[in-house]
Amino acid sequence: PDLNWENPKVRREIYDMILWWMEKGVGGFRLDVIDQIAKEPDRGITSNGPRLHEFLREMSRETFQKGDLITVGEAWGANTDNAKLYSNPDGSEFSMVFQFEHMVMDQQPGKEKWDLAPLPFVKMKQCMAKWQNELYGTGWNSLFMDNHDLPRIVSRWGDDRKYRKESAKMLATILHGMQGTPYIYQGEELGMTNVKFENITHYRDIETLNLYRERLEKGYSREEVMRSIYAKSRDNARTPMQWNAEENAGFTAGTPWIEVNSNYVEINAEEEIHDPDSVFSYYRILTHLRKKYPVFIDGRFRLLMEEDSQIFAYTRTSQNEEMLVCANFTGEPAHCPLIGEWKDAQILIHNYEGGLSEEMKPYEAMMLIRKR
């Protein structure tokens, strides 16, 4: 986005670079903050400029459409109308789009991400349902809750202590039952958590360091600032991948650029690969299910129990199958009458041992399927 896309010679250089990589055999491209390439500085337009889709279609014609690629554009400011253009099934722009409407809801309205607020759960459900329904047949969703810029989702919306495994599995169940392409960020499949460095000197993210300095200058207490950093710093997602219980989590024999999360002894890939009850094993099952059942691809989405403050439930319905995804989003028991209505359905996946009950346990989640 820092290049002058108005200059056709600049655009040609970009396309030639893309073609060079395509000739090397790459399978796809992620285009960073792509909604900011068509700026009009004199008018204060920095995103979604008037020539944005013109540029994207030209780039697609000159590059992506000449190969068999997956392309995804990152667009923080995308709405569903824009997303339909980005991910039009005709392939004129991208395969799909990263949008962030559901990921910016737990902050105070009109303020920065550091200004924490409880997640408006009902609104979040409605938001995700909107994207599922409005892109159905007209575009394609990218499914994610974690990435390199966001805090770890099990710490953000789950319980990374008492119910770490249960809540990590619950969040994955909700996301992977939806229509779209799931993105699994490194360590998400292990249930990796946020990090809490005691001193600001341990952090590396420039956004975090600037926030710390600026807010102290404005009179915020150190405790207030660190609370925001612990919740939202990008470094939460950038600590080294936790491969095993050896020094530096097996990431390197040298000195890592940022410290490893101290819980790597308990949470690491080597441990989880061999544990059938691990978060990793649960993700493997979810991935298998998505490949096996067509309803994951083409089933129509319908949000259920919309106003319920604990239950996230929806169905996916295709010509031959109907699937129920039901989850307790809280650390308290919750009542869900839907489970009784689906008592004869097949259990695809369940994050607790034992049978199903309308009285759901903390962070309990399941997928059920039946023939139509």
Which one of 254, 281, 308 terminates a domain?
281
Question: What is the spatial distance between Cα 295 and Cα 179, in angstroms, rounded to a whole number?
Answer: 9
Per the domain annotation, does 87 fall within a domain? yes
Per the domain annotation, does 166 fall within a domain? yes
- What pLDDT is recorded for position 90? 94
Which one of 252, 281, 310 terminates a domain?
281
- Same domain for 307 and 276: no
Q: What is the pTM of this model?
A: 0.96
Enzyme catalytic residues:
32, 74
Question: What is the spatial distance between Cα 121 and Cα 335, in angstroms, rounded to a whole number?
Answer: 16
* DSSP per residue, 224-243: HHHHHHHHH-GGGGTSPP--
- Same domain for 274 and 303: no
Per the domain annotation, does 288 fall within a domain? no
Question: What is the spatial distance between Cα 189 and Cα 279, in angstroms, rounded to a whole number?
Answer: 6
- What pLDDT is recorded for position 47? 83
- What pLDDT is recorded for position 83? 95
Are 84 and 71 contacting, i.e. CB atoms less than 8 angstroms apart?
Answer: no
Going by the DSSP 8-state scheme, the letter that residue 100 receives in this structure is -
- What pLDDT is recorded for position 42? 75
Question: What is the spatial distance between Cα 333 and Cα 362, in angstroms, rounded to a whole number?
Answer: 5
Per the domain annotation, does 287 fall within a domain? no
Per the domain annotation, does 192 fall within a domain? yes
Per the domain annotation, does 3 fall within a domain? no
- Same domain for 338 and 190: no
- pLDDT tens by residue, the chain, 372 residues: 789 999 999 999 999 999 999 999 999 999 999 999 998 877 777 788 899 999 999 999 999 999 999 999 999 889 999 999 999 999 999 999 999 999 999 999 999 999 999 999 999 999 999 999 999 999 999 999 999 999 999 999 999 999 999 999 999 999 999 999 999 999 999 999 999 999 999 999 999 999 999 999 999 999 999 999 999 999 999 999 999 999 999 999 999 999 999 999 999 999 999 999 999 999 999 999 999 999 999 999 999 999 999 999 999 999 999 999 999 999 999 999 999 999 999 999 999 999 999 999 999 999 999 999
- Same domain for 274 and 329: no
- What pLDDT is recorded for position 2? 84
Range of the domain at 304: 296-371
43: burial class by Cβ within 10 Å (0-12, 13-18, 19+)? exposed
Structural domains counted in the chain: 2
Say which residues have a Cβ less than 8 Å from residue 159's Cβ, sequence separation at least 6.
166, 167, 331, 362, 363
- As beta bridge partners, residue 72 has 30, 96
Per the domain annotation, does 1 fall within a domain? no
Say which residues have a Cβ less than 8 Å from residue 212's Cβ, sequence separation at least 6.
200, 203, 225, 229
Q: Phi/psi of residue 28, each to 5°?
A: 175, 180
Q: What is the CATH number of the domain that holds 323?
A: 2.60.40.1180
- Same domain for 194 and 327: no
- What pLDDT is recorded for position 1? 77
- Same domain for 195 and 325: no
